[in-house]
Chain A
């Protein structure tokens, strides 16, 4: 494509470069700004006097003696126990991803191999379920969970997130398994394996690229969820996202909005690393056409 670039007139090059520059600014600048601002005091991050104070840290210098300060992080992580929320997030994400993938690979494999019409109906039902806004489902859970004392536990939330994840996971893995030639497991079955043995010994060793990609999206769903986690978890079991939201309700009035800013940066950091290491898989997953599930 570089040859095309050479051939194109300067006006087009200019247009392309400016579009890209503006988009990069839009996409990346808010994150850099917030990252930088999280090391300032509130008076600088929200400066009445001059927005550039957020860059220079004038008040930060006056209040803490340094140009940058970790007070926001200390306040959020230690004082407000954000570490507890982070730990809860790790637990929830780990179990949601493992369970989703276990159920999803079994189901997705069967859906990819079955030639009967009911497999299609199953996928269609999954597509309908995928379209349901999670919050509408939550209003179905609450009365029952209160009744049976299931509300507030991490385990309940994990199972709920796994279920909400299933339609998407099934669709994605189904299309990955479709790309693995059926001759592979069929020949194993000709050699005397049962269906499950063929799955275990022949399919499992070659399925990892698809499983990793699907796992990334399952992780994102669990990690980014707000509707389910905020409604179903008790205060001590809260994950990071509802915790950030709770900072807004209570501490913004106390003037501790910097807790929220630093926790927002803390939530973003793992996502940043994830995109960095798994960019190829994420792009592959989005474009597999599987995301239509």
Chain B
């Protein structure tokens, strides 16, 4: 394809991505190095019968003008990054010196907002991803050995948890595990504790969020594996059978090696997607027990005082995290391309 026509064909897409993905990333980076202007303080002298007094007031007009003139705020360097809500350099150093055991240090760190969010995000990402792969694989093998007529409906219902709006899917589960809901009551009976409430317990909340994550993403792994199973060579399977391989050995030595490239694909996609975990925390109203990086940004942006610089700093840190997770995907795509 000629350079000229290529240029005109991709131009609209390129402009859209440039304006609304590339520039915002740049703008977030710039914003994260600035903080809002301080209020302009003016000294006023008020005189009355008893003499003159000097006092200071906030000059609203001048403040508004300054903010309108330079909406970015004033340059602050790494100040926002190092404050208590982000890297919290001083607090970490203090904790490091003040605590004796690793356990203690970890517990203290999780009280700092950024590390709390980071802790949950990473735990969620690295617990949910393997579980999704395992569960997806099991379901795929099971559906594949069901009769043909049943497979359509099985796939239909399997797709539901994945296609459902994350916020809505999480709400549906949340209402069921409510202390007055069906699963909540069941848990209370199983635990023999009538006051058991998922909402009130940090470990249970973490588990629930991850259960939601697996429930939501397992269908994706399932569909990809199921498609992979359709292309398993029947001859190889037949040969394995003739050689006396039982079902497990067939899976272990024929099917799993065949599906391995798909596993890398699912794992990379899932790592990236799980790192963004956000909606379930809103649905479960879990922020007292678990927060994620995306939620922290959302929290800074919402509400009465929009803390744009704080949100920007967290965003930059999140983007760095995404970049680290993304690098193997890029390397893989790169190799694929070079092979062609």
Contact = CB atoms under 8 A, between A and B. Distances in A.
Interface stretch (B91-99, B111-119, B126-134, B152-160): B152-160
A276 B185 contact: no
Question: Chain B: interface secondary structure?
Answer: helix
A133 to B, nearest CB: 4
A3 to B, nearest CB: 11
B224 to A, nearest CB: 6
Contacts of B25: 132, 136-137, 140
A135 interface: yes
A120 B337 contact: yes
4 smallest CB-CB distances across A and B, nearest first, come from A140-B24, A163-B20, A110-B9, A107-B13
B165 A27 contact: no
Contacts of B337: 120
B56 interface: no
A88 B71 CA distance: 31
Nearest to A54: B182
A160 to B, nearest CB: 5
Interface of A: 1-2, 4-5, 8, 12, 16, 19-20, 23-24, 26-28, 30-31, 33-34, 37, 45-48, 51, 54, 102-104, 106-107, 109-111, 113-116, 119-120, 122-129, 131-133, 135-144, 147, 159-160, 162-164, 166-167, 170, 194-196, 199, 220, 223-224, 226-227, 231, 241, 244-245, 248, 260-261, 264, 267-268, 271-272, 274-276, 279, 282-283, 286-287, 289, 291-292
A23 B16 contact: no
- Residue among A20, A116, A144 with the most chain B CB within 10 A? A20
B145 A23 contact: no
B300 to A, nearest CB: 8
B1 A24 contact: no
Contacts of B72: 143
B173 interface: yes
Contact of A139 (B19, B176, B297): B297
B167 A111 contact: no
A167 B17 contact: yes
Contact of B223 (A33, A102, A287): A287
B138 interface: yes
Given A33-B182, A196-B5, 5 more contacts: A104-B13, A127-B333, A135-B315, A140-B312, A141-B20
A33 B184 CA distance: 14
* Central interface residue in B21, B226, B268, by most chain A CB within 10 Å: B21
B294 A1 contact: no
Nearest to A34: B172
Contacts of A276: 156
A141 B175 contact: no
B164 A268 contact: yes
Contacts of A119: 6
Nearest to A279: B156
A133 B167 contact: no
Nearest to B325: A131
A293 to B, nearest CB: 10
> Which of B17, B71, B301 gathers most chain A CB within 10 Å?
B17
A122 to B, nearest CB: 7
Contacts of A129: 17, 21-22
A226 B279 contact: yes
A245 B282 contact: yes
B122 interface: no
A239 B215 CA distance: 25
Contact of A283 (B168, B227, B269, B285): B227
A276 B160 CA distance: 10
Contacts of A132: 21, 25, 319, 322
Nearest to A242: B167
A164 B20 contact: yes
B53 interface: no
Contacts of B182: 33, 51, 54
Contacts of B176: 30, 33-34
Contacts of A287: 223-224, 226-227
Contacts of A167: 17, 21
A147 B265 CA distance: 41
B326 interface: yes
Contact of B17 (A28, A163, A223): A163
Contact of A170 (B13, B148, B283, B285): B13
Most chain A beta-carbon neighbours within 10 Å: one of B23, B72, B142, B334: B142
A289 B261 CA distance: 11
B166 A114 contact: no
Interface in B161-194: 161, 163-168, 171-173, 175-176, 178, 180-182, 185-186
A166 B142 contact: no
Contacts of A268: 164-165, 168
Nearest to B182: A51
Contacts of A12: 247
Nearest to B171: A264
B155 to A, nearest CB: 7
Q: Which of B10, B158, B272, B275 has the most CB of A within 10 A?
A: B10
B87 interface: no
B160 A142 contact: no
Contact of B21 (A142, A163, A231): A163
Nearest to A274: B163
A272 to B, nearest CB: 7
Contacts of A199: 9
Contacts of A227: 278-279, 294, 298
18 contacts: A16-B142, A26-B161, A33-B182, A107-B10, A107-B13, A109-B9, A115-B1, A120-B337, A125-B17, A131-B326, A135-B297, A143-B27, A224-B165, A227-B279, A248-B171, A248-B283, A268-B165, A275-B156
A194 B147 CA distance: 51
